[in-house]
Every structure is written in C-alpha cells, then in structure tokens.
Amino acid sequence: MNPSRKHRIGVMAVLAFTGPVAAAGLPACSDEDTSESAQPSATATVTVPTGLRWQTFQGVDLPVADQGPRHTDGPVASGFARSPAGAALTAIHATVRISIATDNQWPAVGQRMLAPGPGRDSWATARAQISITTPITSGAPKVLGYVIPRYTPDATDVDIYTIHPDNSVTRNSTHVTWQGDDWRLRLPDNTTTATVAAVAVPPVDMVALTPR
C-alpha cells in the first residue's frame, strides 16, 4: 500500500470511524492554572483558545495556544492548562498523535498521552500490528473545532469535529482526565463502544478553530 494512503487511512480510522484516544502528562501547569480552572466562568467552555496558531505533526495541522501544549518532546505534547481549552487541546493532540505516530514514536505517545487502562492496552495491541513510517503527504483530515458537553477540573468530555477530503464531517466523542500535572486522554475500556459519528454540519455552539 502507498505510504501516504496508509497514513490517510490510519488517521481517518481514528478521527472518523473508531473510538477516541487518551492524553498524557508531564508537569507543566502552574498553581494559577489549577485555581482558575476550579471555577471556570460561564463562558469558559465556549471561549476560543488564546494565541491560537498551527503546527504540523506528521502531515496534520494541530492547534497550539496559550493553553497548550507548552512542551513538545519529540512526538509527545504536554503542558496543557487545567481549563476547558486545555482539556480540548489535549484531546485533539492525543487523538491525532496516537493515530499517526510512526513505528518508533507511538510507544512514547501511548505511554505519556494516554490514561492507563484496558483501553490503552487494546490500542497498543492493535497499533503493534500495523506499520507507519512516513508522514501524510496529501488528503489529511482537518480539525474544525470542538464542543465541551461536560467540564470539571478532573474529568472532561470533548467532542472533536473534523472535516475530511471528501468534505464529510465527523464528531469524535473523547474523554480526558487530569492525572498528576496534566491531562490524559482515556480510551474506552470496551473496544466496541461507538464514539465517532458522521454529522451533516458542525453544531452552532462549536468552538471554531480556523485551519491554516
């Protein structure tokens, strides 16, 4: 199979047709972040991340903002604010990075960006059975934005909206938990749990991230 096509199928599978992934933690958030996130304002879950810009990982553009990631160690992103925007950025980065990390990158991404548990174990078993060695060169999905149905400083649900080369849109329902000093994306224990669905258009309350 053409490497570019293999990568495109891999990322489409996670972003469009299968379940979420999980985000992990290195220390990076200050005490100020923690106190602010404990009592988010009424509009916090619908506020666009500040200082938004885009960086490419393996051919896919990922949003970077003041709320994170603050550190990048090879394929691993860390240092997300303990806030709604920080949780959403974690979910996006972890989902994409575990989808398209190369054969020598994915163990570190899984270990440091996914919450421990049966979901992570099942993902690692499945990932070991495929090979990804090069970036996506064409047809990469683009993250449009997100909705946060539920936020607490310890556990947050994030729906990620993605547009694909055929202009179809999907919603990936993910869950992140605060562990140690960062968010981690928690994969569902039941691998048959449906977490991705096709949608006609993104919802009007989506926090829009403008792709470059």
pLDDT per residue of the chain (212 residues) written in tens, 0 to 9: 444 444 444 444 444 323 333 332 222 333 334 334 445 555 788 999 999 999 999 999 999 999 999 999 999 999 999 999 999 999 999 999 999 999 999 999 999 999 999 999 999 999 999 999 999 999 999 999 999 999 999 999 999 999 999 999 999 999 999 999 999 999 999 877 778 999 999 999 999 998 55
Residue that the structure tokens 């977490």 belong to = 195
Q: Are 86 and 181 in contact (CB under 8 A)?
A: no
Residue 27, number of CB atoms within 10 A of its CB: 11
Total domains, the chain: 1
Q: Per the structure block, which two tokens stand in for 208?
A: 């829009």
Q: Per the structure block, which two tokens stand in for 71?
A: 């550190």
Binning the chain into helix, strand and coil, the percentages to the nearest 5 are: 30, 30, 45
Between helix 106-113 and helix 118-127 the angle, nearest 10°, is: 170
Domain assignment of residue 8, given as a range:
3-208
Task: Give the separation between CA 36 and CA 55, rounded to whole angstroms.
Answer: 27
Task: Give the separation between CA 161 and CA 87, rounded to whole angstroms.
Answer: 15
Task: Give the separation between CA 7 and CA 119, rounded to whole angstroms.
Answer: 22
